[in-house]
């Protein structure tokens, strides 16, 4: 079929009918304006969510304050409830999660063999079994861990001298 948007072909079409095809650039701008209108409409809510997430990153925020903030966010934006509720289905390993909770609540005696296997990669080496390392040795270990397959954060978690 002949392209009717080309001026020569448009003039031929006008001889037969009053209808004319839309120009391609007119439809592109329409979708852009629709997107901008939607952004302007939700901009205030975006600022509120950003303010809450900025506050969540502060070190001085207590756990109860975090829970209150997340509950309020779920109230304000019901679509976030499955992700922000205390029983959210975003936990990747229930065994690991329960083991971490038991350790955090100082209930290590309740750890099952599955729990111990889940947290074994994060177990610190006992200081009694290993001679004290010098600062240079620790730095070298961190550098090697950083350049290896293991990431720097995991290496720091496993090291005995986590920065304060």
98, 155: one domain: no
| Residue percentage of the chain with pLDDT more than 70 | 65
CA 53 to chain centre: 11
71, 12: one domain: yes
When mean pLDDT is compared across 33-47, 72-86, 145-159, the lowest value belongs to 145-159
Q: Dig out the tokens for 88 from the structure.
A: 């959210």
In a domain, 145, yes or no: yes
136, 78: one domain: no
How many separate domains does the chain show?
A: 3
In a domain, 52, yes or no: yes
In a domain, 18, yes or no: yes
| Residue percentage of the chain with pLDDT more than 90 | 9
Please determine, for residue 144, whether its predicted confidence score (pLDDT) is greater than 70: no
131, 101: one domain: no
51, 75: one domain: yes
- What pLDDT does residue 156 have? 41
CA distance 72 to 53: 13
40, 67: one domain: yes
Q: Which domain holds residue 117?
A: 93-121
15, 80: one domain: yes
- What pLDDT does residue 71 have? 84
45, 111: one domain: no
16, 64: one domain: yes
In a domain, 1, yes or no: no
Q: pLDDT tens-digit profile of 16-34? A: 777 776 666 555 677 788 8
In a domain, 78, yes or no: yes
106, 128: one domain: no
CA-to-CA separations, 81 to 14, 51, 76, 92, in angstroms, rounded: 56, 18, 10, 18
In a domain, 2, yes or no: no
Region of residue 117 (left: phi > 0; alpha: psi -120 to 50; beta: else)? alpha
27, 66: one domain: yes
Q: Is 24 exposed, middle or buried (0-12, 13-18, 19+ CB in 10 A)?
A: exposed
In a domain, 61, yes or no: yes
Q: Dig out the tokens for 97 from the structure.
A: 């999660």
pLDDT tier at 54, thresholds 50, 70, 90? confident
Which residues have a Cβ under 8 Å from the Cβ of 96 and sit 6 or more positions away?
118, 119
Q: Dig out the tokens for 137 from the structure.
A: 């040795």
- What pLDDT does residue 3 have? 66
pLDDT tier at 148, thresholds 50, 70, 90? very low
Please determine, for residue 111, whether its predicted confidence score (pLDDT) is greater than 60: yes
């Amino acid at each position: 079929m002949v392209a009717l948007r080309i001026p020569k072909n448009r003039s031929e079409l006008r001889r037969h009918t009053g209808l004319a095809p839309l120009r391609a650039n007119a439809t592109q701008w329409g979708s852009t304006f629709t997107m901008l209108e939607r952004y302007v409409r939700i901009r205030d809510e975006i600022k509120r969510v950003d303010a809450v997430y900025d506050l969540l990153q502060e070190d001085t925020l207590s756990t109860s304050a975090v829970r209150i903030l997340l509950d309020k966010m779920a109230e304000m934006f019901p679509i976030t409830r499955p992700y922000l509720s205390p029983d959210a289905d975003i936990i990747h390993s229930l065994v690991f999660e329960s083991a971490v909770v038991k350790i955090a609540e100082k209930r290590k005696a309740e750890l099952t063999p599955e729990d111990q296997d889940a947290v074994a990669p994060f177990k610190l080496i006992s200081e009694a079994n290993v001679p004290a390392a010098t600062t240079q040795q620790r730095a070298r270990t961190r550098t090697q861990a950083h350049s290896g397959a293991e990431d720097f954060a995991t290496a720091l978690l496993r090291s005995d001298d986590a920065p304060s």
